[in-house]
């Protein structure tokens, strides 16, 4: 009987093995839940797009933050439909959450809080000065796509016991050249007219030495319309109509355009490089991209916009600020 039972099990297994689905490929954008590791069949048949997925509400739960002191910024995400913690975030562009903080003097922080409980995220933050800080978070829920959610309150930091002196971030007015952390940067724009796709190209340095950061060669944060004056930037951006986070999505050939492909340089070590677009894991130690990074964005309304371009070079992320004036079609023709 034992032999017969073993044969029956073996035959059944052989038959079923040809019809069972293979484990789902994890790829670069993996589900952050334990099912993504322990149950490889959990995502088979999962509806990838669920248009009825409700948004999540972002709230800041930290106590008063003091300038010059490191505190944990605590955030909660609540499902807008049920009121329960939204605890179904998935890894999106290398992190569960991308937190953008704009300071009173025009500083920008691009942070990645860690999950500390259901729907709860924390990140250490040292604010350089008292004043208002605008806060926005980008994340993706299972089946719900990417959401960008702004805090209704932001952060009002008070003066601490440590004396601080924040340095105002000077945003270059209009496209042009500036030096950021010792690196020469030049920005050009194909158009700055409402409703027309603008190609913004930043030349960061002179050599093809940019490194992917979070799977991308370049990041672009856009906030506006805002006042052209450089005072109280955090408060000005708090209620801005537009908050956008865009990426450079060029192919390897585009991202490496600054390299001389006809030279005697040995390119064999780069033959395995894939398109740096966030869908595949990029080797962030490879400094072979750029120096030009391009973005495409269509500005919806006229006015002044603060933008920050982020790119990694020499293992350091550069944050490059500009102030752009976008005109409507009628003004552009005058």
What average pLDDT does range 297-304 have in this prediction? 96
CA distance 316 to 332: 38
Note the pLDDT of residue 198.
96
What average pLDDT does range 301-327 have in this prediction? 96
When comparing pLDDT for 328 and 330, which is higher? 328
Lowest pLDDT segment from 52-56, 81-85, 117-121, 208-212: 52-56
Structure confidence at residue 316 as a pLDDT band (50, 70, 90): very high
Note the pLDDT of residue 55.
85
When comparing pLDDT for 257 and 118, which is higher? 118
Note the pLDDT of residue 295.
96
pLDDT one-digit tens code per residue, 46-86: 444 555 567 899 999 987 899 999 999 999 999 998 999 99
What average pLDDT does range 25-37 have in this prediction? 44
Asked whether the predicted pLDDT for residue 216 surpasses 50, the reply is yes
Q: Which domains does the chain have, with CATH numbers?
A: 56-157 (2.60.40.1930), 172-260+274-333 (2.60.40.1930)
pLDDT one-digit tens code per residue, 184-206: 999 999 999 999 999 999 999 99
265 vs 212, 260, 262, 271, 285, CA distance in Å? 21, 8, 8, 13, 19
Note the pLDDT of residue 63.
74
Structure confidence at residue 162 as a pLDDT band (50, 70, 90): confident
pLDDT one-digit tens code per residue, 250-294: 543 444 444 443 433 333 333 333 444 444 455 666 778 989 999
Structure confidence at residue 44 as a pLDDT band (50, 70, 90): very low
Note the pLDDT of residue 258.
42
């Amino acid at each position: 009987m034992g032999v017969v039972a073993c044969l029956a099990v073996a035959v059944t297994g052989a038959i079923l093995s040809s019809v069972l689905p293979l484990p789902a490929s994890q790829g670069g954008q993996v589900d952050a839940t334990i099912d993504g590791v322990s149950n490889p069949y959990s995502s088979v048949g999962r509806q990838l797009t669920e248009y009825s997925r409700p948004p999540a509400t972002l709230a800041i739960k930290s106590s008063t933050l003091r300038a010059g002191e490191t505190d944990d910024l605590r955030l909660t995400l609540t499902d807008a439909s049920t009121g329960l913690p939204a605890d179904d975030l998935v890894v999106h562009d290398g992190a569960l959450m991308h937190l953008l903080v704009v300071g009173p003097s025009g500083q920008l922080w691009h942070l990645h809080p860690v999950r500390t409980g259901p729907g709860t995220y924390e990140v250490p933050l040292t604010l350089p000065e008292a004043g208002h800080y605008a806060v926005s978070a980008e994340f993706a829920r299972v089946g719900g796509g990417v959401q960008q959610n702004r805090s209704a309150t932001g952060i009002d930091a008070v003066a601490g016991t440590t004396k601080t002196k924040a340095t105002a971030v000077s945003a270059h007015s209009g496209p042009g050249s500036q030096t950021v952390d010792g690196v020469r940067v030049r920005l050009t724009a194909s158009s700055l007219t409402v409703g027309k796709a603008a190609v913004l190209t930043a030349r960061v340095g002179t050599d093809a030495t940019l490194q992917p950061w979070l799977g991308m060669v370049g990041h672009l944060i856009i906030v506006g319309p805002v006042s052209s004056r450089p005072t109280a930037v955090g408060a000005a951006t708090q209620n801005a109509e537009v908050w956008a986070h865009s990426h450079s999505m060029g192919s390897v050939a585009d991202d490496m355009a600054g390299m001389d492909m006809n030279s005697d340089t040995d390119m064999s070590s780069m033959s395995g490089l894939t398109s740096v677009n966030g869908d595949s894991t990029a080797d962030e130690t490879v400094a072979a991209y750029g120096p030009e990074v391009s973005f495409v964005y269509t500005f919806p309304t006229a006015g002044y916009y603060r933008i920050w371009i982020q790119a990694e070079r020499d293992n350091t992320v550069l944050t490059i600020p500009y102030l752009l004036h976008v005109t409507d079609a009628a003004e552009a023709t005058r």
